[in-house]
Amino acid sequence: MPGGARRRLLGWFSRHPRLQLLALLVPPAGWFGLVYYGSLALLLVSAFWTLDPTTHQVLHQFSLANLQKLVTESVYPTIALRTTVIAAIVTVADAVIAFPIAFYMARVASPRTRAALAVAVLLPLWASYLVRVYAWRVILSDSGLVDWAFAQLGIANVGSLFGISDLSMTIVFIYLWLPYMILPIFAGLERIPASYLEASADLGGRPWTTFRRIILPLAIPALAAGSIFTFSLTLGDYITPSLVSNSQFIGNVIVGELGVAGDIPFAAAFAMVPIAIMAVYLLTVRRLGAFEAL
Amino acid sequence: MRAAAARVGLRVATGLTVAFLYLPIAVIALYAFNGDRGQTWPITNFSLQWFGDAFNNQSVRDAMVLSVSIATLAMLAAIILGTAASLAVHRYRFFGRDIVSFALVLPIALPGIITGIALNAAFRGIGLGLGTLTIVIGHATFCVVVVYNNVIARLRRSSSSLEEASADLGADQLQTFRYVTLPVIRTALLAGALLAFALSFDEIIVTYFVAGTQETIPIWIYDHLHQPNQRPIVNVVALFVILLSTIPVYISQRLVGAEATAGAATGASARR
Amino acid sequence: MNNRRWAALVAATAILASACSGTATTPPAATGTPANSVAPPTTVASGTPAASAGPSLPTSVGAGEGELDLVIWPGYAEDGSNDPHYNWVKPFQDATGCKVNAKTADTSDDMYNLMTQNHGLYDGVSASGDASNRLIGAGEIAPINVNLIPDYVNISPFLQSPAHNTVNGVHYGISLGWGANFLMYNTKDFTTAPTSWASVFDPTQAAAVKGKITDYAGPIYIADAALYLKSAQPALGITDPYELTQPQFDAAVALLKAQQPFVGKYWASYTDEIDNFEAGTSTIGTAWQYQANTITADGKVKIATVVPTEGVTGWADTWMMSAYAKHPNCMYLWMAWALKPDTQVQSAEYFGEAPANPLACPKLDAVYGPYGIKDFCTIYHAQDTAFYNAVAFWKTPSADCGDSRGKTCVDYSKWIDAYTSVKG
């Protein structure tokens, strides 16, 4: 009897919760363990290999040559520092810009407006990232939209402030990742019970005090969650820097070493820099409760 | 008084932010009509020809079909793996439970280029030819967390008493899942799945490293953006993709509201 | 299109050695073992099959096998889907019954990997300068009988047996087209035409156009600096801008570092350069004829190109057949088709390059399609032997200088590191 067999099997199964757990856990754990973490481990290991200078073959021998090169040649620390600093600037700017709109959506707007704004914030993300960066080039170039608009007001040469520069790149990054900051903050603010704010007001708290003492602390996990995205996305990008600035990011070096030079070990070694930065960053924001706010 | 002023301030800030978000989109829409090959301001020649060119372009259609297939497969894998992981974490206590969310989040939190080169090296290492399969594997890896986050958030908010009642009434595991658990997580699952789909659909960096010769829509755009002849067509395609993507975004918004958008934030970020 | 080719030309030998050591080293007997007594890059020599007797070549082309799988730079196999004016694939399919599947490659490394890691998957490749010799050296390419390509005799004499596809008199493919890297400038900012690369490299002259100079973004651009130094600083004794001893190399890199503060934009794709010139962000820098034509056609700014007195660098492409081709007849038919004047008209105009077959020139000069320009072949120097000979064509720098200096030259992997430090 198939029905009976099924029942017996499931009955036996239900008496062995460990097996149920295994059945649930093995597929995702296997997938991530093998595919993702396996690959990542391989990458880390290959950072300690080198490329034979004459044959261009990867030598599978332990060597610190790549790490040494990263530290001793000043250009690599410079690039890593530039990447990290700009990622930090972008993150702070996004947090500042995102907070008002997120607050408006969560606490002021009618449900209808809120839904419309949520969609409005989300939609630009589905427009191709590349096409949006190219659109920014039109806006920020020397004789671009911004320059043209100011020229109409009689202010000349505004475009040359932007053009191809680190400033333009920072603006584009702020733009690109802004929704990733707005949405978690919005979700975080929405979860704050209205009674907290009422209680604060009842106790004589002024709006600013309520904001500073109640809202901001409660929004910290959401801010931290959003910052994971803005920070890591900037840290890992290489297309935007090459399109709107002259600066090299960590990603540009990795892509060059990998695609042009075929030097996988050195690319892997440099990849350890953003991995290390992100590991520290994640451990920090985890303590702020970022993972619960994701 | 001050509250009213603050309200006005908030409204203005919100308006400006939305304008900031849509300025480039407007530029894209405008340049879909650009008659010139170079993309500089202002447009001097307008043309409608790119719309016809885009829709008659076989390579666009092929890329579209490929992207939809890959997104569908990656979404299915993400549903299965993400649901399983969330049920395991929600129902059981086990060694390493605390790091599951960390482990699933990492593919998003680490820059896409690292996931890309790691998978690329691994696939080459084991001799797996780059192509549709490797893209699906790569995409599923960062899509799982979207489903996981949505489902586990729903499970945490729902009571487990229904499942216990179901078991007490003699339902077996599959029946309980089918008739009790699934209805509870259904909308969250759907929202997560749609986001996983959209996520895969527009991903480029990981795809670039694991695609081999396959051309998804973002890769097609990447290839053709470099060709001045093709750029207006790219703008048309991008516009079309934005319009298309309103559908899943709208549906998920209707289904789960704020929860979906929160999940979307997590999800969308994996695309980089 | 060309941006890919540029990337290709830039690409290094690095991956190949590992790639070729992992591949089977014996090509199918039918295609013969490539005669390879030339000095290929030393890095690939280990994987090269032992050279022995000359190749046995087919003497006729049989019926097509019904399919043809190609690895191409985007723009080399147009079927009208990008622009209905440019369609040489569909007529080929109709004429031969060979269905064309074209895979575009990003870089020479991509191309090399596609050809070496998928034996039997691809029949042919549109390999560029350096990649072609790497592929020959690795035994990946079948020698061909040029007599089976009717238009071979019509090809510009200097492209019939060039070093990048003909080794010891054995033909490993058929030239397709080529181009040079000119000095392009905005005529509004340069009322008198510049005549030297000093306009961008000399510190005082560069300072005058600070922020408006554009350079190509890639290690191979070090060769352009070396080409300038070859004339500007004869004491360095530079003979070949790709074969540089350490002092020569250091001088070229130092020149680029000194120039860096004056450079407004390093362009990675030619679209970048077109945008930047049209927007006024760039006013002078290295460019292909293609950019010049596009900018002229758009008419937003006025530009001109010159061949500076120091000469120019450039690139050249070849259709090559895989030693493991499953559809060799279709590949022969394709090569014959690609060299026909009418095909050359379309591919040269669409791609923006000098055609290998000058019989295409009358139609090109009279403007064929939307990307055409008047006097095409004159503008592209298509039949200009002296010009061709003066171009320093891209090749991969290797430690082996290729002359009496022996292995004292700077290898390409060092070029990459040095270039990273140039941009900072």
d(CA B130, CA B132) in angstroms, rounded, equals 7
Average pLDDT estimate for B148-168: 77
pLDDT tens digits along C352-387: 899 999 999 999 999 998 888 899 999 899 999 999
Q: Chains near C, with 3+ CB pairs < 8 A?
A: A, B
Cβ neighbours, 10 Å, residue A154: 6
Phi and psi at C99, nearest 5°, equal: -80, 125
pLDDT, greater one: C45 or C371: C371
- Taking the Cβ of residue A35 and every Cβ of chain B, the question of whether any pair is shorter than 8 Å is answered with yes
* pLDDT given for residue C232 in this prediction: 94
CB < 8 Å to A163, chain C: 264, 281
> Given pLDDT bands bounded at 50, 70 and 90, which one contains residue C398?
confident
Contact (CB, 8 A) for C98 and C92: yes
- For chain A, 294 residues long, give each residue's pLDDT as a single digit of tens: 566 777 777 777 677 777 878 888 888 888 888 889 999 998 889 889 887 766 666 778 888 888 888 888 889 999 999 999 999 999 999 999 999 999 999 888 888 888 889 888 888 877 778 888 988 988 988 778 888 888 888 887 777 778 888 999 999 999 999 988 998 898 888 878 878 877 877 877 777 777 788 888 888 888 988 898 899 889 988 889 988 888 899 998 888 787 666 678 888 999 999 999 998 888 888 888 777 666
Looking at CA atoms only, how far is residue C263 from chain A in angstroms?
Answer: 9
Pick from B117, B78, C419: nearest CA to A275: B117
The two three-digit tokens of residue A293, written as one number: 């706010």
The two three-digit tokens of residue C176, written as one number: 């397709």
* pLDDT given for residue B265 in this prediction: 46
CB < 8 Å to C275, chain A: 137, 141
CA B32, B37, B41 angle in degrees (round to 5)? Answer: 70
pLDDT, greater one: C294 or A95: A95
Determine, for residues C12 and A137 on separate chains, whether the beta-carbon distance falls below 8 Å: no
d(CA C377, CA C372) in angstroms, rounded, equals 11
Determine, for residues B113 and A271 on separate chains, whether the beta-carbon distance falls below 8 Å: yes
CB < 8 Å to B215, chain C: 104
pLDDT, greater one: C103 or B39: C103
Average pLDDT estimate for C323-345: 96
Indicate the range of C4-18, C139-153, C195-209, C239-253 predicted with least confidence. C4-18
> Given pLDDT bands bounded at 50, 70 and 90, which one contains residue B233?
confident
Indicate the range of A15-29, B81-95, C230-244, C256-270 predicted with least confidence. A15-29
* pLDDT given for residue C260 in this prediction: 93
Contact (CB, 8 A) for C407 and C39: no
CB < 8 Å to A129, chain B: 202, 204, 218, 271-272
CB < 8 Å to C268, chain A: 242
Query: Taking 50 as the threshold, does the pLDDT of residue C256 lie above it?
Result: yes
d(CA B193, CA B157) in angstroms, rounded, equals 19
DSSP of B79-119, one letter per residue?
HHHHHHHHHHHHH---TTHHHHHHHHHHHHHS-HHHHHHHH
Query: Taking 70 as the threshold, does the pLDDT of residue B234 lie above it?
Result: yes
Pick from A77, A174, A105, A79: nearest CA to A133: A174
The closest CB to that of A246, out of C43, C266, C280, belongs to C266
pLDDT, greater one: B173 or C244: C244
Beta bridge partners of C101: C69
Query: Taking 90 as the threshold, does the pLDDT of residue C68 lie above it?
Result: yes
Indicate the range of C41-45, C63-67, C363-367 predicted with least confidence. C41-45
d(CA A115, CA B110) in angstroms, rounded, equals 30
* pLDDT given for residue C28 in this prediction: 35
CB < 8 Å to B130, chain C: none
Amino acid at B246: T
What does DSSP assign to residue C186?
E
C74 to chain B: nearest residue by CA? B223
CB < 8 Å to C18, chain A: 56-58, 262
In chain B the first and final C-alpha atoms are separated, in Å, by: 44
What does DSSP assign to residue B173?
H
> Given pLDDT bands bounded at 50, 70 and 90, which one contains residue C346?
very high
Query: Taking 80 as the threshold, does the pLDDT of residue C207 lie above it?
Result: yes
Q: Which residues of A228-255 are buried (b: 16+ CB within 10 A; e: fewer)?
A: bbbbbbbbbbbbbbbbbbbbbbbbbbbb
> Given pLDDT bands bounded at 50, 70 and 90, which one contains residue B236?
confident
Average pLDDT estimate for C135-162: 92
From chain B, which residues contact C within 8 Å (Cβ)?
36-41, 44, 53, 56-59, 129, 213, 215, 223, 225-231
> Given pLDDT bands bounded at 50, 70 and 90, which one contains residue C38?
very low
Query: Looking up tokens 């020649």, which residue turns up?
Result: B45
Residues whose CB is less than 8 angstroms from the CB of residue B178 and which lie 6 or more positions away in sequence, other chains included: none
Average pLDDT estimate for C199-216: 93
Strand C263-267 relative to strand C313-321: parallel, antiparallel, unpaired?
A: unpaired
Indicate the range of A207-216, B257-266, C88-97, C389-398 predicted with least confidence. B257-266
The closest CB to that of A134, out of B39, B111, B204, belongs to B39
What does DSSP assign to residue C145?
-
pLDDT, greater one: B195 or A171: A171
Query: Taking 60 as the threshold, does the pLDDT of residue C181 lie above it?
Result: yes
Query: Taking 50 as the threshold, does the pLDDT of residue C26 lie above it?
Result: no
The closest CB to that of A257, out of C17, C399, C416, belongs to C416
* pLDDT given for residue B256 in this prediction: 62
pLDDT, greater one: C220 or B15: B15
Strand C354-355 relative to strand C174-186: parallel, antiparallel, unpaired?
A: antiparallel
Cβ neighbours, 10 Å, residue C405: 13
Contact (CB, 8 A) for C197 and C310: yes
Determine, for residues A261 and C12 on separate chains, whether the beta-carbon distance falls below 8 Å: yes
* pLDDT given for residue C8 in this prediction: 34
Give residues 254 to 273 of C whose Cβ lies within 8 Å of A.
263-266, 268, 272
Helix (H, G, I), strand (E, B) or coil at A158: coil
Pick from A68, B227, B18: nearest CA to C271: B227
- Taking the Cβ of residue A125 and every Cβ of chain B, the question of whether any pair is shorter than 8 Å is answered with yes
Scanning chain B, the segments in alpha helix (DSSP H) are: 2-31, 49-55, 58-91, 97-109, 112-126, 132-157, 161-168, 173-176, 182-201, 205-210, 217-225, 231-256, 258-269
d(CA C317, CA A36) in angstroms, rounded, equals 39
| Inter-chain contacts counted by CB atoms under 8 A, chains A and C | 93
The closest CB to that of A261, out of C42, C275, C413, belongs to C413
Residues whose CB is less than 8 angstroms from the CB of residue C36 and which lie 6 or more positions away in sequence, other chains included: C48, C49, C51, C136, C137, C139, C167
Query: Taking 80 as the threshold, does the pLDDT of residue C27 lie above it?
Result: no
CB < 8 Å to B231, chain C: 271
The two three-digit tokens of residue C313, written as one number: 């660098």
Residue count of chain A = 294
Q: Chains near B, with 3+ CB pairs < 8 A?
A: A, C
Average pLDDT estimate for B116-132: 84
- Taking the Cβ of residue C188 and every Cβ of chain A, the question of whether any pair is shorter than 8 Å is answered with no
Query: Taking 70 as the threshold, does the pLDDT of residue B266 lie above it?
Result: no
- Taking the Cβ of residue C275 and every Cβ of chain A, the question of whether any pair is shorter than 8 Å is answered with yes
Determine, for residues B213 and C74 on separate chains, whether the beta-carbon distance falls below 8 Å: no
C45 to chain A: nearest residue by CA? A55
Indicate the range of A102-111, B54-63, C7-16 predicted with least confidence. C7-16
Residues whose CB is less than 8 angstroms from the CB of residue B141 and which lie 6 or more positions away in sequence, other chains included: A31, A32, A35, A36, B107, B115, B119
Q: Is the dihedral of CA C352, C287, C237, C132 positive or negative?
A: negative
Average pLDDT, chain C: 82
Pick from A188, A210, A186, A187: nearest CA to A197: A210
d(CA C229, CA C237) in angstroms, rounded, equals 9
Q: Chains near A, with 3+ CB pairs < 8 A?
A: B, C
CB < 8 Å to B4, chain A: none
